[in-house]
Structure 1
Amino acid sequence: MRPRVGNVRRMQSSLDRQPDSMRNELDVENLARRGGQPGAMSYRNSIHILTATLLVVGLGASARLPLPMFAVSCVLLFVWGFLYFWGSSRRVTFAHTKQLAWLFVLTLVWVLMLPIVPVSIYIVFPLFFLFLQVMPDVRGIIAIVGATSVAIVSQYPVGLTLGGVMGPSVAALVTIAIDYAFRTLWRVNNEKQELIDQLLETRSQLAETERNAGIAEERQRIAHEIHDTVAQGLSSIQMLLHVAEQEILARGLGEDDAAGSPLHKIRLARTTASDNLSEARAMIAALQPAALSKTSLEGALHRVTAPLLGINFVINVDGDERQLPMKTEATLLRIAQGAIGNVAKHSEAKNCHVTLTYEMDQVRLDVVDDGVGFEPERVRQQPAGLGHIGLNAMRQRAQELNGEVIVESAHGQGTAVSVALPIEFSNGG
């Protein structure tokens, strides 16, 4: 006995396909500036120390200049230093256009310093880092190439040397390499943190699922015990008392309706047994899954899907709907809850078809969505607690009733879950 996967495939092909959603790239720079990445604080402080050192060296070198030029050098170095440290402390709160404006002014002051301050060419080093921080894309590389060219050309009046060309060029390459190394480190750290968060969330979901499954299983066990013992015993007692009452009446005995007559006591015992049997049946109904205790299996499926917004659920029933054994209905509902829950949590689907099919010897449930899909074999090989944690639970529930669950899916092609359970009616079920 296997679910009819061909029908599942046909239903699946009728659904609209959803393209895979692209993940947004992490803004590692913002995270680094907030100190949430390894080495971010040291990285930032090292650049500040380098900048302060270059400014002090620039002041020392300017001391050899004539007094008017020395005063101009001091003003330019002070302005550049003030703009740098002021902007660095507030840049996190700046809009991107404001950051670009700040960086442009900083670069302009540096260009003005080149013909006046003897060692201002070395201040291009912290500028390189700022270019890559404010523009972490091809624009940053272009800005570095432009600043390197300006630094080299500024030496032309005093004569270009190999060191004058290699110095800015090597500084640019070293800056790009350092920035790339730190960004790679932060990106890997973010990915690991995301994985840890997912594992913790999955573990929490698994614990909650196992707890709910344990509670549901214990409730079902108690319901079955009450049904098979107390309820059956009370029903038998009621039947025996009814037979005894009929025999007494047939023999013409006990017609006296006095409170102490045997017939009155038998009728009182029958009423008590009937009342207790009703109480036992109410307990059995209360221990069933909540949705089933209030409505049919189809209605229960509607109740499961009603709170899930953003997905168009279509529920169909094929065949003659009829009352199933309590355990079969409960198992089918739990499997449906797991499959529908996976659709809501993981599929990113727009549409989902749920089909309940009644046949002579079995009942089938097909849940088909048009979501992003996944690789079932890969999920099956993952350790317990990763991926679609409900699949194993669905298979175990079905196997308890000699049923079977088949899962078909592929990336970008949606997912189809089909379960088939045999219908075995028990006496007094």
Structure 2
Amino acid sequence: MSGGKSQIWLLALTLLWVLLIPMQPTAIYLVFPLYFLYLQVLDDIRGVIAVIGATAVSVFSQWTNLTAGAILGPTVAALVSIGIDYAFKTLWKVSAEREELIAELLETRSQLADTERAAGIAAERQRIAHEIHDTLAQGLSSIQMLLYVAEQELKKTGIGDDEAETILKRIDQARTTAADNLGEARAMIAALQPAALSRTSLEGALHRVANGIVGTEVTIAVEGDEHQLPMRTEASLLRIAQGAMGNVAKHAAADRCHVTLTYGDDEVRLDVVDDGCGFDPAAVGERPRGLGHIGLDAMRQRAAEQHGTLTVESAPGQGTAVSIAIPVAEDTQAPERRATALTQVEDPGEHPEETVR
């Protein structure tokens, strides 16, 4: 039944009750179910006003025989009815909020499981890329160098061209086969790297992420002496930047977002600042874990895995600033850098004097 029809029906019942009171004094007791109908149909201040009005009618209908019981009875019944209605509505609201939290928790658990699964897959792909680089690719590069050295030493022996032709042909075939397989190894390593980083630098990858943000103007700036970072550090910074810019697009309602990548001597910093609606980080942090701040938790975890820190500064109506600082030790850069730069290594057969990175 629609709201208007319910109110008309309730008004008709009230008029019928008022007409019955002079005819049958016991009809006054029908006011009790009317209280609950008022509070149910008129679920705002109008319901309380209707209860007060019905109580007044009940009291004044007994004016000729007015007693303390005639006043207290309807009055107490009205107060009890309002109290019961308030208690039930509060329980209903709490139940609805709990149901919403449970639904959010289930959704968050599903998202967390997908995130952990994706993180596990990415970590395994990265591990395999390192293994291929450190074993297969390096071995094939060494074979090419050894074959080149063997070719040069064979030419120095003074053996006749006719006799050396067959040997040199076999050496050339072996070098070609090793080069082809090295190319396949490089392609596998490139395919196993994070998608954006495998095609461009970290700055370029950030631009690719920014280009996918709709509704907010995103600018990218790089400060300091830009240099190659360990692959794990670059991947972590990229994923954190994706999460931060994703939060800006989904929640901040911002017009502008500025992303700054700063290269320092012993650390790299990433700052994501927006002019959006902001929020209270303390209030978000007090929520049950996984409810409402899974994105921040994931970014903190990624930063912690690289021994870094993540700081969030925000206030309602004042925008948000997310800052990540990750230390970069000099002795940890070289091995990782080889894996990222492997696709750029030239054929050692062309420049045998160079050491393969």
* TM-score normalised to structure 1 length: 0.68
1:317 aligns with 2:222: yes
Of 148, 159, 164, the match for 1:242: 148
1:266 aligns with 2:171: yes
Q: What's 2:90 paired with?
A: 184
Q: What's 2:279 paired with?
A: 373
1:426 aligns with 2:334: yes
Alpha-carbon offset, residue 199 of structure 1: 2.4
Residues 224-373 of structure 1: pairs in structure 2 closer than 5 A: 224-253=130-159, 255-256=161-162, 261-319=166-224, 321-344=226-249, 349=254, 351-359=256-264, 362-369=267-274, 370-373=276-279
Alpha-carbon offset, residue 263 of structure 1: 0.6
Q: What's 1:99 paired with?
A: 6
Contact 2:244 2:322 in 1 (8 A): no
CA deviation string 1:14-72 (max 9, x = no partner): xxxxxxxxxxxxxxxxxxxxxxxxxxxxxxxxxxxxxxxxxxxxxxxxxxxxxxxxxxx
CA deviation string 1:99-158 (max 9, x = no partner): 3333323322322333234322222222211211122222211111111112222233x4
SS at match of 1:365: strand
Superposition RMSD on alpha carbons, in Å? Answer: 3.0
Alpha-carbon offset, residue 384 of structure 1: 5.9
SS at match of 2:43: coil
1:138 aligns with 2:138: no
CA deviation string 1:311-363 (max 9, x = no partner): 44332233454544433322321232333344455556554322122345543
SS at match of 2:25: coil
In structure 2, C-alpha distance between the alignment counterparts of 1:361 and 1:256, rounded to whole Å: 60
Alpha-carbon offset, residue 235 of structure 1: 1.1
SS at match of 1:315: strand
Alpha-carbon offset, residue 286 of structure 1: 0.5
Residues 411-422 of structure 1: pairs in structure 2 closer than 5 A: 411-412=315-316, 413=318, 414-422=320-328
SS at match of 2:219: strand
In structure 1, C-alpha distance between the alignment counterparts of 2:154 and 2:37, rounded to whole Å: 105
Q: What's 2:309 paired with?
A: 405
CA deviation string 1:255-291 (max 9, x = no partner): 4499x71111111111111111111111001001111
SS at match of 2:113: helix
280-289 or 308-317, larger mean C-alpha shift: 308-317
178-187 or 415-424, larger mean C-alpha shift: 415-424
Q: What number of residue pairs does the alignment pair up?
A: 332
In structure 2, C-alpha distance between the alignment counterparts of 1:255 and 1:362, rounded to whole Å: 58
Alpha-carbon offset, residue 220 of structure 1: 0.6
Contact 1:301 1:336 in 2 (8 A): yes
Contact 2:218 2:259 in 1 (8 A): yes
CA deviation string 1:373-393 (max 9, x = no partner): 3436983x8886455335555
In structure 1, C-alpha distance between the alignment counterparts of 2:125 and 2:218, rounded to whole Å: 29
Of 112, 120, 123, the match for 1:214: 120
Q: 1:222 to 1:160 in 2, by over 3 A?
A: same
Contact 2:217 2:256 in 1 (8 A): yes
In structure 2, C-alpha distance between the alignment counterparts of 1:141 and 1:345, rounded to whole Å: 41
In structure 2, C-alpha distance between the alignment counterparts of 1:383 and 1:270, rounded to whole Å: 61
Q: Which amino acid aligns with 1:140?
A: G
Contact 1:394 1:405 in 2 (8 A): no
In structure 1, C-alpha distance between the alignment counterparts of 2:49 and 2:295, rounded to whole Å: 51
SS at match of 2:334: coil
Q: Which amino acid aligns with 1:185?
A: L
Contact 2:267 2:325 in 1 (8 A): no
Q: Which amino acid aligns with 2:268?
A: V
Unpaired segments ≥5 residues, structure 1? 1-89
Q: 1:264 to 1:305 in 2, by over 3 A?
A: same
Q: 1:254 to 1:308 in 2, by over 3 A?
A: farther
160-169 or 211-220, larger mean C-alpha shift: 160-169
1:109 aligns with 2:51: no
* TM-score normalised to structure 2 length: 0.80
Residues 145-160 of structure 1: pairs in structure 2 closer than 5 A: 145-156=52-63, 158-160=64-66
99-108 or 179-188, larger mean C-alpha shift: 99-108
Alpha-carbon offset, residue 97 of structure 1: 3.7
In structure 1, C-alpha distance between the alignment counterparts of 2:77 and 2:203, rounded to whole Å: 71
In structure 1, C-alpha distance between the alignment counterparts of 2:250 and 2:314, rounded to whole Å: 17
Contact 2:258 2:273 in 1 (8 A): yes
Contact 1:328 1:423 in 2 (8 A): no
Q: 1:137 to 1:210 in 2, by over 3 A?
A: same
